[in-house]
């Protein structure tokens, strides 16, 4: 779309947000009864569902079992109706496999896998509506689902995307901003210790701007953490009230 300015002179983006402002986030835990853990998150118009099973026996070949750690198996799938044009293959294509690998890397950093050797933890994420920031929404949904399943984790994992337009770093990109072709960075952070679980960018960005973009992404990830914190506390309070505490 030629002529569409991503950042106006007054500092407003296409959807009326400020440069560092996040989209509205709503999340729920425990949406599926049959899974060990599940969660649903909406970040603006991006909707993602995560389901966790485990730790259970290794399925398939026994040879894949790791003697000292649990195997984390992530599968990413985006529904055929999730994008503007109907997608042919929901999962199994190159992008989904790569996303699955990135999610696996992210969660191997956060889950305490040494507590469950020779077992497997499955994380299935499905994107129901993709409006930019799908990796971030998947990571946030999967964190809530892993917490719902009671699998021990070192810390939350909170993720956000960031871009760079006209000398300003933007946080939480929507599809329009991603499609414009500027640099985009995806950051997954462990908020309490400040450690980075995954940092991914495949565009060109001058190294002088890197710190600014990184800071914007980190600040946004911490804001996400504040929101998810509230959601988890609410869920735990409701659950323990019903159990009569």
Binding site for other proteins (CB under 8 A): 36-37, 54-57, 112, 114-120, 147-150, 152-156, 189-196, 207, 210-211, 214-215, 218, 222, 229, 232-233, 236-237, 239-240, 242-245
In the complex, what is the shortest distance from the CB of residue 192 to other proteins, in angstroms, rounded to a whole number? 4
CB closer to other proteins, 36 vs 177: 36
In the complex, what is the shortest distance from the CB of residue 161 to other proteins, in angstroms, rounded to a whole number? 17
What number of other Cβ atoms are within 10 A of residue 104's Cβ? Answer: 17
CB closer to other proteins, 55 vs 183: 55
In the complex, what is the shortest distance from the CB of residue 180 to other proteins, in angstroms, rounded to a whole number? 27
In the complex, what is the shortest distance from the CB of residue 224 to other proteins, in angstroms, rounded to a whole number? 14
SS (HEC) of 108-165: HHHECHHHCCCCEEEEEEEEEECCCCHHHHHHHHHHHHHHHHCCCECCCCEEEEEEEE
CB closer to other proteins, 149 vs 170: 149
Between the alpha carbon of residue 178 and those of residues 16, 43, 57, 90, 153, the distances in Å are 16, 15, 40, 21, 31
What number of other Cβ atoms are within 10 A of residue 6's Cβ? Answer: 17
CB closer to other proteins, 127 vs 149: 149
């Amino acid at each position: 779309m030629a002529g569409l300015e991503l950042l106006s002179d007054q500092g407003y983006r296409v959807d009326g947000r400020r440069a560092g402002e996040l989209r509205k986030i709503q999340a729920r835990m425990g949406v599926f009864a049959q899974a060990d853990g599940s969660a649903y998150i909406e970040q603006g118009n991006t909707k993602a569902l995560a389901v966790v099973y485990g730790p259970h026996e290794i399925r398939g070949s026994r040879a894949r079992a790791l003697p000292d750690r649990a195997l984390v198996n992530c599968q990413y799938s985006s529904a055929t109706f999730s994008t503007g044009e109907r997608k042919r293959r929901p999962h199994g294509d190159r992008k989904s496999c790569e996303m699955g690998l990135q999610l696996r890397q992210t969660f191997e950093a956060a889950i305490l896998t040494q507590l469950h050797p020779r077992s497997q933890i499955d994380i299935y994420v499905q994107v129901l509506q993709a409006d930019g920031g799908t990796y971030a929404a998947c990571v946030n949904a999967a964190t809530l689902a892993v917490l719902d399943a009671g699998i021990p984790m070192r810390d939350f994992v909170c993720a956000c995307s960031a871009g760079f337009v006209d000398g300003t770093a933007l946080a939480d990109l929507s599809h329009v901003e991603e499609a414009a072709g500027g640099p985009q960075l995806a950051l997954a952070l462990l908020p309490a210790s400040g450690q980075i679980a995954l940092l991914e960018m495949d565009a060109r960005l001058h190294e002088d701007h890197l710190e600014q973009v990184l800071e914007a992404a980190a600040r946004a990830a911490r804001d996400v953490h504040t929101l998810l914190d509230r959601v988890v506390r609410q869920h735990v309070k409701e659950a323990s009230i019903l159990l009569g505490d």
